[in-house]
Amino acid sequence: CKCILIITFFLFLITSVLNAQDDFEKWKQQQEEDFRAYKDANDKAFMKYLEDQWESFATFIGEKRDTTPKPEEVPVSETEELEVTDSVAVDTAELPALLIEEDEVDINNDIEIFQPEKGKQHEIEFWGLQLGIKEPENFAIDLKYPVTSKSVADFWYKISNSNYEPLLDQLLQYRKNMNLNDWGYCLLLNNTGNVLSGNKTDLTKLFIWFMLTKSGFELKVGYNKTNIYLLIPSEQPIFGESYVKISGKKYYIINFEEKEKIKLNIYTYKGSYPEVDDLINLDVIASPAIKNQMVEKDLRFDYAGKEYVINITLDQNTAAFFKDYPQTNMQVYFTAPLSSQAERSLLSQLRPIISGKSEAVAVNILLRFVQKAFPYKTDQDQFGYEKVFFQDEFLYYPYSDCEDRSIMFAYLVKKLVGLDVIGLDYPGHIATAVKFNSNVRGDTIVYNNERYLICDPTYINANIGRGMPNFRKKAPKIIKIL
User: How does pLDDT run across 454-476, given as a tens digit for each residue?
Assistant: 999 999 999 999 999 999 889 99
Q: Which residue, among 309, 453, 468, 322, has the nearest Cα to 394 in the 3D structure?
A: 322
Residues 412, 373: Cα–Cα separation, whole Å = 14
Q: Please give the class, per CATH, of domain 92-102+292-480.
A: alpha beta
**pLDDT given at position 366:** 99
Q: What pLDDT sits at residue 286?
A: 96
What are the residue boundaries of the structural domains of the chain, listed by start? 2-52, 57-62+110-268, 92-102+292-480
Residue 37 has pLDDT above 90, yes or no: no
- pLDDT in the model for residue 88: 63
258 vs 219, higher pLDDT: 219
pLDDT at 71: 86
The whole-number pLDDT of residue 23 equals 59
Q: Average pLDDT for residues 383-408, to the nearest whole number?
A: 97
Strand spans (E) along 156-233 = 220-223, 228-232
Mean pLDDT of all residues in 183-198: 98
Instruction: Identify the weakest region by mean pLDDT among 16-25, 149-158, 233-242, 438-447.
Output: 16-25
pLDDT of residue 94: 56
Q: Is 254 helix (H, G, I), strand (E, B) or coil?
A: strand
Instruction: Give pLDDT, residue 118.
Output: 80
> Given this model, what pLDDT does residue 101 score?
44
Among residues of the chain, what percentage have pLDDT more than 90? 76
**Of the candidate ranges 5-14, 198-207, 346-355, the one whose mean pLDDT is the lowest:** 5-14
pLDDT at 437 over 90: yes
403 pLDDT tier (thresholds 50, 70, 90): very high
In the structure, what pLDDT confidence band is assigned to residue 426 with cuts at 50, 70 and 90? very high
Asked whether residue 120 carries a pLDDT value surpassing 80, the answer given is yes
Residue 102: pLDDT band with limits 50, 70, 90: very low
pTM over 0.75: yes
Residues 6+ apart with CB under 8 A from 79: 461
Q: What is the pLDDT averaged over residues 82-103?
A: 57
Mean of per-residue pLDDT scores for the chain: 90
Reported as a single tens digit per residue, the pLDDT across 337-393 is 999 999 999 999 999 999 999 999 999 999 999 999 999 999 999 999 999 999 999
Over residues 19-37, the mean pLDDT reads 52
* Contact indicator for 236, 281 with CB cutoff of 8 Å: yes
Query: Based on C-alpha coordinates, what's the Rg of the chain?
Result: 28
User: Which H or E run includes 259?
Assistant: none
- Helix/strand/coil for 296: strand
Entry field: residues in the chain: 482
Determine contact, residues 89/303, Cβ cutoff 8 Å: no
Q: Lowest mean pLDDT of 137-146, 228-237, 311-320, name the range.
A: 137-146
* CA neighbor of 297 nearest in space, from 336, 345, 366: 345
Tell me the C-alpha distance between 279 and 140, whole Å.
27
Residue 452 exposed, middle or buried by CB count within 10 Å (0-12, 13-18, 19+)? buried
Summarised one tens digit per residue, pLDDT across range 144-154 is 999 999 999 99
Averaged over 277-284, what is the pLDDT? 96
- What gap in Å lies between CA 441 and CA 85, rounded to an integer? 8
- Alpha-carbon torsion angle 127, 128, 130, 135, nearest 10: 20
Q: In this model, does residue 198 exceed pLDDT 80?
A: yes
pLDDT confidence bin for 260, thresholds 50/70/90? confident
Name beta bridge partners: 60.
243
